[in-house]
Amino acid sequence: MVRAPDELAETPSQTAGPYVHIGLTPAFIGIAGPYPGDLGRSPVRDGARGERIAVTGRVIDGLGTALRDAVLESWQADAAGLYPGNDPRGPADPGVTGWARLAADGATGLFRLETVKPGRVPFPDGRPMAPHILLWVVARGINIGLATRMYFDDEAEANAACPVLARIAPLERVQTLLARRTAPGEYRFDIVLQGPGETVFFDA
């Protein structure tokens, strides 16, 4: 792309590598010295408003193997669709920080996010996007963090009207962004890095 002449170029990415836990989740691998605990253990506090949900999933490579070294971060709105921090529309539920770090389990590759279901947030033109949670994946072999969105398969009406999902072609690839409800409040969401069923990643 063409930058304005006075625009500085972004620092290039490099892989987080195999030892990413030392930096992002040291307590997860038993480094207890420096900090009281890992950041981003939960995106919600007691008293957060909205429907409690939990999402379990894996990150899967081109051979169908679950990554056991992946680290994910999630970012989401509160149940009313407001973002914590710097949302220009106003303050969010103080019970929601919105951000979490999820290390894949070293044996199974499973990650688990316990949170509240986010509300709808407007697209720049004002149309509501369907409820979604941003996920960002880093690991050895991933040269630039992969950004995707998790939507919910029990929000069919909102999904059908979502201006982001409407951009995805072919339409079948929308399926890769839908968390499947497996029980009340429980969802399953796998991220496929490569090959058949490859998850849609975004450049937004």
List the interface residues with other proteins, window 60-79 (CB under 8 A): 61-63, 65, 67, 69, 73, 75, 77
Residue 103 touching other proteins (CB under 8 A): no
Residue type, 52: R
Show contacts with other proteins in window 7-66 (CB under 8 A).
7-24, 26, 29-31, 33-36, 39-40, 61-63, 65
Q: Which is nearer to other proteins, 62 or 185 (CB)?
A: 62
Strands (E), 76-116: 99-103, 111-116
Our measurement of the distance from residue 175's CA atom to the centroid of its chain's CA atoms, rounded to an integer in Å, reads 16
Given the complex with other proteins, which of 53 and 59 has the nearer CB atom? Answer: 59
* 53 or 164: CB nearest other proteins: 164
DSSP H or E segment with residue 180: strand 178-183
Distance between CA 74 and CA 83 in Å, rounded?
Answer: 13
Which residue number, 23 or 185, has a Cβ lying nearer to other proteins?
23
152-171: which residues touch other proteins (CB under 8 A)? 164, 167-168
Minimum distance from CB of 40 to other proteins (Å)? 8
Query: How would you class 30 by CB atoms within 10 Å of its CB: exposed for 0-12, middle for 13-18, buried for 19 or more?
Result: exposed
Distance, in Å, from the CA atom of 147 to the CA atom of 169, rounded to the nearest integer, reads 17
Q: Which of residues 111-140 bind other proteins (CB under 8 A)?
A: 121-124, 129, 132, 134, 136, 138-140
Q: Is 200 in the site for other proteins (CB under 8 A)?
A: yes
Place of tokens 């939960």: 42
